[in-house]
Amino acid sequence: MKNLTKITVSALLVAVLPLSALATTFDDVEDTNNHYLAIEYLVSTGTLEGYGDGTFQPNLTINRAELMKVLVTGQGLDPDADTYNNCFPDVTDEWYARHVCYAKEQGWVEGYPDNTFKPAQTVNKVEAAKMIVGAYGLTELEEGDAAFTDVTEDLWFFPYIMTLTENGVIETAEDTYSPAEGMDRGLTAEYIFRVLVSQANEDEIYTTDYRDTFLTDAGLSDLLFSDPYIAYVFYDGEVYQVESDEYVEIGSNGNASLNLEGYYIMGSKGEEKYTFLEVTLEPDESIKVYTNQGDYSFESEDAVWSNSGETVYLYDPSDNLVDEYSY
């Protein structure tokens, strides 16, 4: 039990701070991390903290006592230790007892058949899903199309995974969910953050657009960024003489959508210019601007890009050079 206390006190000290608190940037959580926004937001609200060495350790699994503290204190709740204690044989008066016992009273968590809680045991992904659904009072969905091959209606955890999936909390890019896999700190932050965003949205679903609004309203718009760049130039077309299929591909890195309106492409010869109108790029999305075909086109009857080589430039609406690509 001493080892448990040593780990959790340093890792997940929770204090309810004002929303305007500055988010902490951790040495091991760069802005390219999939859970960057979630981690930074929850740190800004005091729900999570990093370690003394300046790391967050997003890949470190979370145990049952730690998750209870996050779910309870993260909602601004501060259970009285004199009231909430001794609710399991292995949960008496430890630092986490008031959080576990409060969660038990609320029906967010149950013990094991032997009546123990096992506070030091790693939470797997489906256990975490059940606890999160219960803690935030989400309506359980008993039926629906299974999004994963290993999450079917006959399994006890189906309603919880279905609920979080329908709310946009769980992504469905993969075929399997891996229910028994340990829940890590990064994914925990992501789930809780997405639940908060979905509950603030009148449609009760997480979307990246509403996420951006949510962070902006919280005074954390500086966490959002997009980085447009020239991904590729196809300068030697396959359409004989016309070469209408030549293109410049524009991509976007970052974690926010990018409005390209007013951005423009030019070559080093300065003879052709393409200015974007109303088009939005999502993170990791790209579009191609063709010489004379497709939705985005120079509409030039002649080849735009020289086969002998040149430099293509991308400018923002204020005429600032954003990127260049030489071939």
Give the model confidence (pLDDT) of 29-41 as tens digits.
988 889 999 999 9
3-state secondary structure of 252: strand
The answer to whether residues 284 and 245 touch, using CB atoms and an 8 Å cutoff, is no
How many angstroms separate the CA atoms of 192 and 41, rounded? 10
- Intervals of the chain under pLDDT 70: 1-24
Q: What is the per-residue pLDDT across 85-109, written as a single tens digit (0 to 9) for each?
A: 999 999 999 999 999 999 999 999 9
Regarding whether 241 and 217 lie in a shared domain, the answer is no
Regarding whether 249 and 208 lie in a shared domain, the answer is no
Amino acid (1-letter code) at residue 203: D
pLDDT at position 9 is 33
The answer to whether residues 112 and 48 touch, using CB atoms and an 8 Å cutoff, is no
Distances (CA, A) of 221 to 40, 208, 213, 225, 237: 11, 13, 8, 8, 42
The answer to whether residues 214 and 200 touch, using CB atoms and an 8 Å cutoff, is yes
pLDDT at position 68 is 95
Q: 320 lies in which domain range?
A: 226-326
Regarding whether 105 and 28 lie in a shared domain, the answer is yes
Regarding whether 241 and 219 lie in a shared domain, the answer is no
Regarding whether 253 and 157 lie in a shared domain, the answer is no
pLDDT at position 12 is 38
How many angstroms separate the CA atoms of 233 and 183, rounded? 42
Regarding whether 151 and 20 lie in a shared domain, the answer is yes
**Which domain-ending residue is among 170, 198, 223?**
223
Q: On the CB side of 97, how many CA atoms lie within 13 Å of its CA?
A: 17
pTM of the entire predicted model: 0.77
Regarding whether 244 and 157 lie in a shared domain, the answer is no
How many angstroms separate the CA atoms of 34 and 133, rounded? 22
Q: Long-range pairs for 103-107 at CB < 8 Å and ≥24 separation?
A: 103/68, 103/71, 103/72, 103/131, 103/135, 106/134, 106/135, 107/134
Give the CATH number, domain containing residue 251. 2.60.40.1260
Distances (CA, A) of 104 to 42, 183, 243, 325: 23, 20, 69, 59
DSSP string for residues in 126-137: HHHHHHHHHHTT
Distances (CA, A) of 226 to 31, 268, 281: 11, 25, 9
How many domains are there within the chain? 2
Regarding whether 162 and 43 lie in a shared domain, the answer is yes
Regarding whether 185 and 56 lie in a shared domain, the answer is yes
Regarding whether 183 and 240 lie in a shared domain, the answer is no
**Which domain-ending residue is among 223, 240, 262?**
223
Regarding whether 113 and 58 lie in a shared domain, the answer is yes
Q: Specify which residues 61 forms β-bridges with.
A: 184
**Which domain-ending residue is among 173, 201, 223?**
223
Regarding whether 279 and 216 lie in a shared domain, the answer is no
Q: What is the per-residue pLDDT across 200-250, written as a single tens digit (0 to 9) for each?
A: 998 899 999 899 999 999 999 999 999 999 999 999 999 887 889 999 999
Contacts of residue 221, defined as CB under 8 A and 6 or more positions apart, other chains included, come to: 212, 215
pLDDT at position 16 is 32
DSSP string for residues in 80-143: -TTTS---BTTBSSSTTHHHHHHHHHHTS----TTS---TTSBPBHHHHHHHHHHHTTPPP---
